[in-house]
Each structure stands twice: as structure tokens, then as C-alpha cells.
A and B are shown apart, each in its own frame.
Chain A
């Protein structure tokens, strides 16, 4: 144990001593962090009296595809909001890798640190072309002055073409994103995530509103990404979750209700009760 109170500096003001203690506390990270891509520790978020997250603790391994299911209001979206910096928790901590304290970063900083998010509703830039959408998401220096003068290097162009191929939109590269079908928009958005070269992808309901063929194609796409990236997929479609899940976490009222592979989770009596409401 390192001493918490500073031993030297007799005569320093209490305030600076407190600041050192605070900083020391911030440096003490949970030991479970080792080897995890994401570690959420006892996150609590309340809106008025309602606790959207209630001491939620959760981790993601490198290269893992973690599926999160849960009834409406279980806190899935709030959890994503906390990870991406949109919502600040009342209590708890969130670590990205061993060194990055997510709660100390702003939304763009978190995005640049390597966490990409796909929203529930596809939000691509409808008035820009598919190519331009991917270009916007490209991992690069994103300051105004750089963007004002920068063109695309051949390597960056290749990278965009590669992602166009992965998401199967090679033929639509000059089409306006607004003209794409619902499924294609979802893929474009996943493609935009890939352009950011994130370590961790947060994917919110990727197959909602998709045709069976599109769903199948999306499953393949997500599975092909696991390994290179870590993924958290939030989904309602149980059949879809069963087909892609390695590990499933069930959220309920802001807490983890059950965890494990799909069969174990589905046979958990508490999960059955929550879902069937009996």
C-alpha cells in the first residue's frame, strides 16, 4: 500500500495535500482491469428518483463479442451513453483499457481514444454521399485547420475502398446516403465505425427493421469483425442474438441479472420471469 497522505512537504496547504490525495486515488485502478478492454465498475445513474443504472458492473475482453439483452428501460442505452461520454454517472468508474478513464474525457476525446458507437436509429449524413460519409469517419487529425487543407492520401483512399467492400456498398459509393435502404444505412453506419479504427464498437440494435436476408448479412458482418475489434451488441431479436453471441449479459432495472452463454441465460428462471412478466 502506498501511503495516502503525502509524507514530504511540511507546511504545504491542506488544499494541495488534498489534491495529491485525489490524484493518487485516481491513479489507483481496480486490479481486475488487467487485460480488459472495457471495465465498468458500480455505475449509478439516476434521473430524478428513477435509477437508470444501479451499480452496474461489467467488463469486455479483447476481441470479444458481448451481447446485451434486456427489456425496455433496463438501462442498455444509458450504459452506452455513459461509455461514450454523453451521460455522466452519479457514482462508479469506467475504464477503457488500463489507462483511459472514460469519465474524464469528452465525447470527441472518447471517440478518438477508440470507442465507436452505432445508434439505434441509423444516423448517417443523408445529404452526403456514401464515400463522403466514410471519409468523415476516417481516423485522422480531426482539427479544423488540418481538415481545411488536407486531401486524402492513397492509403486513406484504399482504406475507404476496403471498408466499402466489407460492408458491401461498393456499387453505391457516389449515391446519397439518404437514398439507401434501411439495411444499407445500418451497414454504412457500421462501416463508418470501422473507419474510426476503434478498439471497441458499441452497436445498438443493428437488425431492427431488417429483412431476414439483411439480418443474416449483418450477423456475418459483426462476426467477421469480432477478434479484430471488441464489440458490444445490444439487441432485442433473440434469434439473432443466439446466432452471433459468444457471451450474453442480461440487464434488468440497471443491473446485471444473468450472464453466460445463450442457453444458460435463457434457462435462468429470473430471466424468464423478467421477460414473460410472470
Chain B
């Protein structure tokens, strides 16, 4: 207990952590005010579209932190984290679909529209329970955790590491992509879920709900960051870094490397799932394209641009790259992929520690 309090107080006395918490609190306070309280005629007004965008970026930041935790600190390069993100998103999507009720196109009280369209007469067994929010929340964590546990248990126990592990995670994304495209899987096929109405009785289209979702996302990001900091700052965190740097040496010191990797991987998958669950109500749609193997690779690019092994760098990288993506796909859509490639190459050559490396150099000069 005593060590727990010590760790917490260390977390709040660390300047980087404090800075991150302060920034997120600022976003959570200012953005809703600018959206709801400032009149639309004012130049300071933020449109609901921008609020949604910021919320989306923060979800990506959580996902980036999840990837940085395992890649930056334990050397596990997962190219399949979009899978856990999408599974969390689907779990939340199933809850939102059940909330539509009779307001769907076909007006069926229980079955979502796509099931009526497919001439199904009853709800598949795995859809039961998703009408309750707490159950959906549990599944948001449990489904990614279970998949990560099974996949990680098999892979780590067989001592699959490095690029082989990365390839397997890509294969996993592709397999699930194909599976979720099928109509008879019961997840809406290639259309996925959309047309959500409300969450816990609050209208998803209203500015108030959108602001509340943004605040919830900022709080989750802060909590995820804090939890990851606590993990990497603990003695287990040192073991995790030792596994990254010299796995067999850690084994000879008596550590069960597989179990460390497994629990870290499972935790990271849960974070990704939670990020996906926050993402879906804010963007209003979830479909199999979220499983695209390229999405997982993009996350890794955000992390390396932001700075691997720093957590805050990963979050900053995710937000920055996605902001640029929004800008470019609006202004110069055909140039976006070239721009992303150029940024990635530039950062790799000139900033091998990512943008976070800049801060480190600066603080050393000071």
C-alpha cells in the first residue's frame, strides 16, 4: 500500500506527467466551453465538427500510448493493434445498435436493421446482453483482452519475437478484416454499424453529449497515460525494459519473460479496445475497414514520429499526424500519402528519437 502511494506521488511530481495532465484538463475545460457557451457568431466559437475531430484525435492518442507501451518499452512490435481498437469499437457499436430500438428504418423493436434486411428472425446469441451499458463496457475490455491473451500466449510461449511476431499480427488483422466483411458473422457485414441515436439516453447528435464524450475521452487518455507511467516506473517496468534490451539475459535472471510480455500485451489490448469504444460514438460509424492492416501500421508511424518509449511523444505524434491528415485530405487529398511518407522519412533521418527527442535535447541545453 505504502509503495502504491509513493508511486502515485512520484507520478504527480514528475514534470512531464504534470504537463500532460494540465494540458488534457485544459482541453477538457476549454473546448466544451468554446463549443457550447460561446455564440456561433464569435470567432472563438468551435463547431461541433471540430469538437468531434479533437475527440477522435484523443482516441487515437490512447491507441498510440497502448502501442508505445509494448513497442517502446518491451520491444513488441504489434502491427495488429487496430484489431483491438476495432473490437472495442464493435462492442460499443453493438450497444448503440440495441439502443436504436424501434427508431430504425424497419422499426423492429429488438433486431437491428441489417438483421431484418437479412431476414433473420431472432437475435444471435452473442448479441444478448448488449442492451445493457455495463455489459457492453465489460465486453469492450474483455473481448480484446481475451483475444490478446490467447494470441499472446501462443506466440510468446513459442518464443515468436521480432519481425515474425509483427507479421503474425498483420495476418491476424487481415483474417479478422475478412471475417467481419461477411454478412453471416452477424456484425453488419461491410456496412458495419451506423445511424446511432443515443448513448445512456443522451442524444448523440447534441452538442452537450459530444462535449461530454470529449471530456470522457480526455479523462481516459489521462488515466491511460498515468497507468502506463505507473507500470513503466515500477520494478516490473524495469524488468520490461530489460526484456526489450536483452531478453535471454532477463530469462537467466529468473524472470518468466513470457508472462511479462503476455500481461503487458493484454493490458495494451484493453487500452486499445477502450480507445475504440470511445471512438465509435464520436465518429458515428464502425465498419470492417477499421481492421485494415494499414491502420495498425499507421499507429506505429504515429508513435515513431512522436518518439518511441516516451508515452507522451506517442500521444503527441498521434494527434499531430492526424491533424495533418485532416488538413491534407481536405486541402490536397492526392498529396496526403506522399506527405505522410515524407514526414516519416524525415523524422527517421533527422529525429531518430521522434519529436519527443527535440524536447530532451532542449532540456539538456537548459
Interface residues of A (CB under 8 A from B): 84, 86, 107-108, 111-112, 116-117, 119, 123, 125-128, 132, 135-137, 139, 142-145, 147-152, 192, 196
Q: Are B255 and A108 in contact (CB under 8 A)?
A: yes
> In whole Å, how far is B148's beta carbon from the nearest beta carbon of chain A?
15
Q: Are A142 and B246 in contact (CB under 8 A)?
A: no
Q: State which of B112-120, B228-236, B268-276, B339-347 sits at the interface with chain A.
A: B228-236
Distance, CA A126 to CA B245, complexed state (A)? 8
Please indicate the chain A residues that have their CB under 8 angstroms from the CB of B2 in the complex.
151
Q: Are A148 and B236 in contact (CB under 8 A)?
A: yes
Interface size on B, residues (CB 8 A): 27
B185 contacts the other chain (CB 8 A)? no
Distance, CA A120 to CA B74, complexed state (A)? 25
B174 contacts the other chain (CB 8 A)? no
Distance, CA A84 to CA B4, complexed state (A)? 35
Distance, CA A147 to CA B241, complexed state (A)? 13
Tell me the number of A-to-B contacts counted with CB atoms below 8 Å.
Answer: 79
Interface residues of B (CB under 8 A from A): 2-4, 6, 231, 234-236, 238-239, 241-242, 245-246, 248-257, 259-260, 263
Distance, CA A143 to CA B239, complexed state (A)? 10
From A112, A116, A147, contact of B239 by CB (8 A): A147
Q: Are A136 and B239 in contact (CB under 8 A)?
A: yes
From B231, B245, B253, contact of A127 by CB (8 A): B245
Known interface pairs A136-B238, A151-B6. Does A142 touch B254 (Cβ–Cβ under 8 Å)? yes
Distance, CA A192 to CA B250, complexed state (A)? 11
Please indicate the chain B residues that have their CB under 8 angstroms from the CB of A132 in the complex.
238
Among B231, B235, B248, B257, find the residue whose CB has the most chain A CB atoms closer than 10 A. Answer: B235
Q: Are A149 and B234 in contact (CB under 8 A)?
A: yes
Please indicate the chain B residues that have their CB under 8 angstroms from the CB of A125 in the complex.
241-242, 245-246, 249
Please indicate the chain B residues that have their CB under 8 angstroms from the CB of A139 in the complex.
254
Distance, CA A150 to CA B235, complexed state (A)? 7
List 17 additional contacts besides A135-B235, A136-B239; criterion CB under 8 Å: A107-B252, A108-B252, A108-B254, A111-B251, A112-B254, A125-B249, A126-B245, A128-B242, A128-B245, A132-B238, A136-B250, A139-B254, A149-B3, A150-B3, A151-B2, A151-B235, A152-B235
> In whole Å, how far is A11's beta carbon from the nearest beta carbon of chain B?
38
Distance, CA A148 to CA B257, complexed state (A)? 14
Please name the 7 residue pairs, one residue from A and one from B, whose CB atoms are nearest each other, closest first. Answer: A151-B3, A147-B236, A111-B254, A148-B236, A112-B254, A147-B235, A125-B242
Please indicate the chain A residues that have their CB under 8 angstroms from the CB of B248 in the complex.
86, 107
Closest to A107 in B: B251
Distance, CA A223 to CA B254, complexed state (A)? 25
Please indicate the chain A residues that have their CB under 8 angstroms from the CB of B245 in the complex.
125-128
> In whole Å, how far is B270's beta carbon from the nearest beta carbon of chain A?
15
> In whole Å, how far is A200's beta carbon from the nearest beta carbon of chain B?
13
Please indicate the chain B residues that have their CB under 8 angstroms from the CB of A151 in the complex.
2-3, 6, 235
> In whole Å, how far is B355's beta carbon from the nearest beta carbon of chain A?
20
Distance, CA A128 to CA B242, complexed state (A)? 8
Closest to B309 in A: A127
Please indicate the chain B residues that have their CB under 8 angstroms from the CB of A127 in the complex.
241, 245
Known interface pairs A148-B236, A150-B235. Does A123 touch B259 (Cβ–Cβ under 8 Å)? no
From B241, B256, B263, contact of A108 by CB (8 A): B256
Distance, CA A135 to CA B237, complexed state (A)? 12
Distance, CA A149 to CA B248, complexed state (A)? 24
Please indicate the chain A residues that have their CB under 8 angstroms from the CB of B235 in the complex.
135, 147-148, 150-152
